[in-house]
Amino acid sequence: MTGNGMDDGVGVGPLVNDRAVAKVEAQVEDATAKGAGVPIGGHRLTDGGLDRGHFFAPTVLTGVTPDMVVYREETFGPVAPVVVYEDVDDVIRMANDTPYGLAAYVYTESLKTALSAFEALRFAIIGINDVNPTSASIPFGGMGDSGLGREGGHEGLDEYLEVKTAGISLR
């Protein structure tokens, strides 16, 4: 159910603001204009008081292709684009075909596939059979156009430090 994340039974809360809703709407509209199917969702939610917030229906897009914006950009909304692939190498190549690199997810029963995918994917966070592979005690941040630096973990302290170097010669 979509709604206030503080209410019991709610699994999908609001997006951060109207710009985020507009971005998700634009990605879905672009995909459907280019032939994607929308078996569920695909619209802003306004019923039952949701018109006062930034709610978008959980959405599945089928038939997603590389020419669609949703294939290339980070979404940050409840949209699951379905992309068909031939084999693991093919899907790794497609996943890495982006300037972004915040998070990727791998679902497999094979430890060999999990480890090879982890090594090959150019993303800072990789969930293997895990939808939430982060915690406050580990570094969080992206690669590529998904950002620089880290927050959390001891690596996050680096953002608050300034390194100085001194060269001294005493005679």
Q: For position 35, which CATH number holds?
A: 3.40.309.10
Q: Mark whether 89 and 140 lie in a shared domain.
A: yes
Q: Mark whether 115 and 139 lie in a shared domain.
A: yes
Q: Provide the residue-wise pLDDT of the chain in tens; the chain has 171 residues.
A: 899 888 999 999 999 999 999 999 999 999 999 999 999 999 999 998 899 999 999 999 999 999 999 998 889 999 999 999 999 999 999 999 999 888 899 999 999 999 999 999 999 889 999 888 877 677 777 777 777 677 667 676 777 677 777 777 787
Alpha carbon separation from 55 to 44, 47, 62, 78, 160 (Å, rounded): 6, 10, 21, 9, 35
Q: Mark whether 9 and 67 lie in a shared domain.
A: yes
The structural domain count of the chain equals 2
Q: Please give the pLDDT value at position 151.
A: 65
Domain-embedded: residue 167: no
Q: Mark whether 21 and 78 lie in a shared domain.
A: yes
Q: Mark whether 46 and 74 lie in a shared domain.
A: yes
Domain boundary among 84, 105, 126: 84
Q: Mark whether 72 and 4 lie in a shared domain.
A: yes
Q: Mark whether 91 and 119 lie in a shared domain.
A: yes
Q: Mark whether 75 and 130 lie in a shared domain.
A: no
Three-class SS string for 128-167? ECCCCCCCCCCCECCEECCCCCCECCHHHHHHHCCCCCCC
130, with CB counted inside 10 A (0-12, 13-18, 19+), is exposed
Domain-embedded: residue 169: no
Number of Cβ atoms within 10 Å of the Cβ of 146: 17
Domain-embedded: residue 170: no
Q: Mark whether 42 and 63 lie in a shared domain.
A: yes
Q: Please give the pLDDT value at position 74.
A: 87
Q: Mark whether 75 and 131 lie in a shared domain.
A: no
Instruction: Please check whether residue 106 is in contact with residue 113, taking contact to mean a CB–CB distance below 8 angstroms.
Output: yes
Domain hosting 120: range is: 85-146
* Angle ∠(61,25,147) on CA atoms, nearest 5: 90
Question: What residues have CB less than 8 Å from 135, skipping those under 6 apart?
Answer: 152
Q: Please give the pLDDT value at position 68.
A: 96
Domain-embedded: residue 60: yes
Q: Phi/psi of residue 62, each to 5°?
A: -110, 160
Q: Mark whether 45 and 116 lie in a shared domain.
A: no
Q: Please give the pLDDT value at position 56.
A: 97
